[in-house]
Amino acid sequence: HARLIEALALLGDRNAALAAYHRCVTLLAEELDAPPGEALQQLHTQLTQVHDATAVAAALQQYAVKSGRHFHFPQFSTPFFGREAEVARIVQSMADPRCRLLTVTGPGGMGKSRLIVEAAQRVNPLDYPDGLYFVPLASLTQPDEVIRAIADAVSV
């Protein structure tokens, strides 16, 4: 939702951006019983306090930098080797503008996390102004925990 709000503001449609913010706040309250995160609140503040389109774009750029929206993946100290075809397929999927969410599934212990982190390290994070996020799900025990884990990972 934050990316939609940012995009609408950058397109100069401040009213639509504010409407999207209010829809997001409503969804957070209804679905997660949670308030918007600090980053989303800062985005709202920028939208309500800045009225010039150029100033909105500059404010949103500062918001993106301050919120650290670039590369949110675990670091590994061991070298990665092999699985080049799988890495290439993931990188190709990440480059597809229609791919907004990439999920890697499989049995535990087969190296899914390591594979996706390696693929993400091979792309330029600045090509992804919305950021790249890794959402660890291994410790979750209930399906409804997934939404909260994703929201936490993207600081919503």
Q: What is the pLDDT of residue 54?
A: 53
Task: State the DSSP code for 72.
Answer: E
Q: What is the pLDDT of residue 59?
A: 56
Q: How many domains does the chain have?
A: 2
- Select from 67, 101, 120 the last residue of a domain: 67
Task: Record the tokens describing residue 71, joined without a space.
Answer: 């590369």
Q: What is the pLDDT of residue 85?
A: 93
**81 and 50 within one domain:** no
Q: What is the pLDDT of residue 6?
A: 75
Its domain, for residue 62, covers: 1-67
Residue-wise DSSP of 78-100 = S---S-HHHHHHHHHHHHSTT--
Q: What is the pLDDT of residue 43?
A: 79
Rounded Cα distance, 109 and 138, in Å: 10
3-state secondary structure 1-68: CHHHHHHHHHCCCHHHHHHHHHHHHHHHHHHHCCCCCHHHHHHHHHHHHCCCHHHHHHHHHHHHHHCC
**84 and 19 within one domain:** no
Q: What is the pLDDT of residue 61?
A: 53
Q: What is the pLDDT of residue 47?
A: 79
Q: What is the pLDDT of residue 52?
A: 57
- Select from 13, 37, 67 the last residue of a domain: 67
Residue-wise DSSP of 107-147 = STTSSHHHHHHHHHHTS-GGG-TT-EE----TT--STTHHH
**147 and 92 within one domain:** yes
pLDDT, averaged per 10 consecutive residues of the chain (156 residues), comes to: 74 80 89 84 79 56 51 74 91 87 86 87 73 83 86 76
Q: What is the pLDDT of residue 62?
A: 55
**88 and 31 within one domain:** no
> In 3D, which of 63, 39, 68, 66 has the Cα closest to residue 151?
39
Strand partners, 72: 133
Q: Are 85 and 34 within 8 A, CB to CB?
A: no
